[in-house]
Amino acid sequence: MAQEPLLEILPLRPFNFDLALRQQTFAPDDREITLQGGVTALRYGDFELRTAYQYFSIHTEEFSTDQHAVFLNPRWNNVLNLLDLTPSLPIGRVLRHVLFGPLEDRAIPYVGGLLGMVLSHEGGPGLFYGGQVGVRFPVAYGISLDLSLQFTEYDVTFNGESDRAQQWLFLTGIRY
């Protein structure tokens, strides 16, 4: 008998912190830091809605800039289960085995969207949106390792000019 999903407000492991670092020594010589923190506001079955804050900083010898983003992050967990159409055709199960090997039963793959606003030190607020794919591995009761690839596009003002910026991030994080 299937269990009905429950609506959970601030569920177990509601907090997450992610980090992305890059140091480059040539063309250009720069350093980038991205810190991201969030809270899972609610969960209903495999759906969860998170709110997050992201700090992005880039420093070169010529300039430095800091940007802040606040956004909603709806996610669908166990997304590969949607591909198990019938018991005789377990496409999602085969993909789990290929992608995660012996950890296939522990992995929680997900897809998500991002929508919010970004503030830079030079300009006003701008639109921030994108998407992500990732996987979460529970490692102990209440603690998970989270790996994700995230694409965002956002409005930014830099050196007096406004335009849209695109960013790819590979984030490694802890949820507890």
**Alpha carbons 142 and 150: distance in angstroms, whole number:** 24
C-alpha torsion sign, points 68, 71, 77, 80: negative
Asked whether residue 109 is domain-assigned, the answer is: yes
Asked whether residue 144 is domain-assigned, the answer is: yes
Instruction: Determine which helix (DSSP H) or strand (DSSP E) holds 84, and give its type and residue range.
Output: strand 84-86
- Per residue in 25-58, pLDDT tens? 655 667 788 899 999 999 999 999 999 999 988 7
Which CATH number fits the domain that encloses residue 148?
Answer: 2.40.160.20
Domain containing 48 equals: 7-175
- Per residue in 94-132, pLDDT tens? 999 999 999 999 999 999 999 999 987 666 788 999 999
- Per residue in 65-81, pLDDT tens? 788 999 999 999 999 98
Asked whether residue 91 is domain-assigned, the answer is: yes
Asked whether residue 2 is domain-assigned, the answer is: no
Total domain count, the chain: 1
